[in-house]
Chains A and B, each alone.
Chain A
Amino acid sequence: MNKVFLIIQREYLSRVKKKSFLILTFLVPSLFIGMYVAIFFIYKSNNDTATKFNVIDKSGIFAEQFKNHSNVKFSYINDDFDFAKKEARHKKDQFLLYIPADFKQTGNVEIIGEKKPGIALVEDVENQMESILQTQKLLAAGIDTAVLNSTKARVNINAKQLTDEGEKDASIGATYVVGFLGAFLIYLALFIYGAQVMRGIIEEKTSRIVEVIVSSVKPFQLMLGKILGIGAVGLTQFLLWIILSTGISTIGANVLMNTADTKTEQVLTKNSNKAEMSPQQGGAAQQFFKAADTINFPFIISTFIFYFIGGYLLYSALFAAVGSAVDSETETQQFMLPITLPLIFTFILGMNVVVNNPDSNLSFWLSVIPFTSPIAMMIRIPFGVPGWQLALSIVLLIGGFIFTTWVASRIYRVGILMHGKKITYKELAKWFRYKE
């Protein structure tokens, strides 16, 4: 065991000391910040790039009736139509909304601008106008304003999740994001660190140091040491990412929310005398962060670490077997497909089926079969998984990696000492059956 520890130490230190490790460690949290900033600005940008409509209302029906939105603003002008038309040509992000005097008869209005207005904008104006006309017609028909207001229904779905602590707000969006992120990171990690195991073994084999090493330790110890050492590198990287990202995003989120609040207030004071603000404005970013808060992160992180370790051990053993069988990286392709296929397959199914239907039969099977469970389960966990399914999945995954490690070690011990041979699956099966 002492020797395995020595091997782990070498594999670990030789990688952690590398510059690329440091770079990657800081790069990923920076991407997280980038993501947060992007989310914030996407929500915020709605305020800044509002389209302006200059309204010439010759009919007089719509006077001071248009409502400003997060992305459209209306102002009324009394200019001459032809003059305003000429003006509109030179103004970007501005449109002229011309309502002719005979509007009641024809129902036609014109939107004039330097470019074509988007469908959403046109629809918005149409809706507003229809609604205004409707209200006016209803009022004209003698319906009370109070009655009118009470008929306006507003639906807002709030998903609630029943847990031991009682009802919790389940934010579907955040759940989806967390599940996706966990699954994606595991998917990526299995490829990155699995390939590192494979490359490390090919390096030892082609540099021929392996024969010296296996005269000191058993091939199985060498393989195990390598797998565990590189796994520890991966784990270190993830822990650093989690720590750095939480640290940075907590600070970042606070800063962003504060600025968001003040901005909103400024906008509110500016517009207070003109039109009312939509309640969603500026608060969207806050909403997202709040939703993220409802997710049980300690639980998700611990399951993430388990499924990373389990999945990594399972797949890296297979990568190790492939590495031992070939003489160079270019020869690995024929053996890679059976390893990468289940991963890609689960990832695609996960993104399309599991996430939309986390409790379906397919989702269940994908999340308990060891070859697919690390990815599928990460998607399901934020939605809530029955305890027995989680337990079954964990037990099967442990069994799974013990099995693949055993199979791989039988191929590995023969493969590392074989050179210059074209290896087929038949050959691998033969190696597997060799005695000591």
Chain B
Amino acid sequence: MLSIRNIVKEYAKHRALDDVSLEIEQGSIFGLLGPNGAGKTSLIRIINQITAPDSGEIYFNNEKLNQSHISKIGYLPEERGLYKKMEIGEQMLYLARLKGLSRADATQKIKYWFEKMEMQTWWRKKVEDLSKGMQQKVQFVATVLHEPELIILDEPFSGFDPVNAEIIKNEILELNQKGSTIIFSTHRMESVEELCNHIALIHKSHKILDGSVKAIKNTYRNNTFKIGVNKAIEQSELQTADLLTSKTTDDGIVHTLKLREGFSANNLLQEVIPLANLTYLEEVIPTIHEIFIKTVKD
């Protein structure tokens, strides 16, 4: 649905994006990851046509990105705010109409969302009368009110309490199920694994990783397993794996093992079972967070 091709963006002293290409599929939840200052916001601003790239192109539904796409995108910036002295209802109406909705249409949709988010009494309230969490709810609703095909959320959960974060997360999933494509920019990896099915990692203006969450994780599997046993095992007793770490816990001993070339988990089990009582075995799959750190360090 969104094809980003060879984007280069330079500011006076540094290159914010260097030849970045991404393919974002229809209906996906796409995680755009990277440390602060990597170039995520620059890229998002280019997609929103707030700034233009120095070179490279973006296609929206196979059409070159243009002004007509503005109404099809909803953007929740990381640093977000509202007019402090304006009534919430008026403010939402204004933002929705700027996206091209008619007054009647916008009013109807606002009412729908107010009911859904239990904000019915907020219409005449001013922003300065709302708590920060309430303001963020308003901002979220304003972002998705015009039913955009593409929703771009920059750190959507920052500042939300757990209850509201959960509400917003469910709304995001629901919107996704209804067909919206979602780009989700963050440097907090926990939320990524839960939500995203595709990620790209941007570091120092370059894309350094891109693919489905599963595929990426698979490439970072390295035949490492964790086993729980009631009695410590020595390296000398093992032919199939190298013992990496051992840890004593309340439930016994946890070993981390790396399979040697040509052996499988089954071989390891056969070797361990006569030695001790096994409580569990699991493959150590790196989290996105670990992949992120590892890739960034490399």
A interface residues, Cβ below 8 angstroms from B: 3, 6-7, 10, 14, 203-204, 206-209, 211-217, 219, 417, 419, 430, 434-436
**Cβ of B272 under 8 Å from chain A:** no
The reply to whether B51 and A436 form a contact with Cβ atoms under 8 Å apart is: yes
**Cβ of B12 under 8 Å from chain A:** yes
The reply to whether A207 and B98 form a contact with Cβ atoms under 8 Å apart is: no
The reply to whether B82 and A215 form a contact with Cβ atoms under 8 Å apart is: no
B interface residues, Cβ below 8 angstroms from A: 11-12, 45, 48-52, 54, 70, 73, 75-77, 79-86, 94-95, 97-99, 139, 142-143
A337 to chain B, nearest CB (A): 25
A435 to chain B, nearest CB (A): 7
The reply to whether B83 and A207 form a contact with Cβ atoms under 8 Å apart is: yes
- Assess A212 versus B12: contact at CB under 8 Å? Given A6-B98, A436-B51: no
- Assess A215 versus B50: contact at CB under 8 Å? Given A208-B81, A417-B45, A430-B12: yes
The reply to whether B95 and A419 form a contact with Cβ atoms under 8 Å apart is: no
The reply to whether A215 and B81 form a contact with Cβ atoms under 8 Å apart is: no
A193 to chain B, nearest CB (A): 18
Most buried by A among B50, B79, B85: B50
CA distance A354 to B86 in the complex (A): 45
- How many contacts between A and B, using CB within 8 angstroms? 66
Which residue in A10, A208, A216, A430 is a CB contact (below 8 Å) of B77? Answer: A208
The reply to whether B83 and A6 form a contact with Cβ atoms under 8 Å apart is: no
**Main secondary structure on chain A at its contact with chain B?**
helix
Most buried by B among A6, A206, A216, A434: A216
**Mind listing 19 A-B residue pairs with CB under 8 Å?**
A6-B94, A6-B98, A203-B83, A203-B84, A207-B84, A208-B77, A208-B81, A209-B83, A212-B76, A212-B77, A212-B142, A214-B50, A215-B50, A215-B75, A217-B98, A219-B50, A417-B45, A430-B12, A434-B12
The reply to whether B98 and A3 form a contact with Cβ atoms under 8 Å apart is: yes
The reply to whether A6 and B97 form a contact with Cβ atoms under 8 Å apart is: yes
CA distance A148 to B142 in the complex (A): 93
The reply to whether B52 and A209 form a contact with Cβ atoms under 8 Å apart is: no
Q: For residue B75, which residues in chain A have a CB less than 8 angstroms away from its CB?
A: 211-212, 215
CA distance A417 to B51 in the complex (A): 10
A43 to chain B, nearest CB (A): 47
Q: For residue A3, which residues in chain B have a CB less than 8 angstroms away from its CB?
A: 98
The reply to whether A208 and B80 form a contact with Cβ atoms under 8 Å apart is: yes
A139 to chain B, nearest CB (A): 83
Which residue in A207, A212, A436 is a CB contact (below 8 Å) of B52? Answer: A436
Which residue in B50, B70, B80 is a CB contact (below 8 Å) of A417? Answer: B50
The reply to whether B79 and A211 form a contact with Cβ atoms under 8 Å apart is: yes
CA distance A137 to B46 in the complex (A): 100
Q: Which 7 A-B pairs have the closest CB atoms?
A: A208-B81, A436-B52, A207-B81, A216-B98, A211-B77, A215-B75, A215-B48
B178 to chain A, nearest CB (A): 21
CA distance A419 to B82 in the complex (A): 17
Most buried by A among B49, B73, B81, B98: B98
CA distance A14 to B94 in the complex (A): 12
Q: For residue A7, which residues in chain B have a CB less than 8 angstroms away from its CB?
A: 98
CA distance A430 to B13 in the complex (A): 11
CA distance A213 to B95 in the complex (A): 7
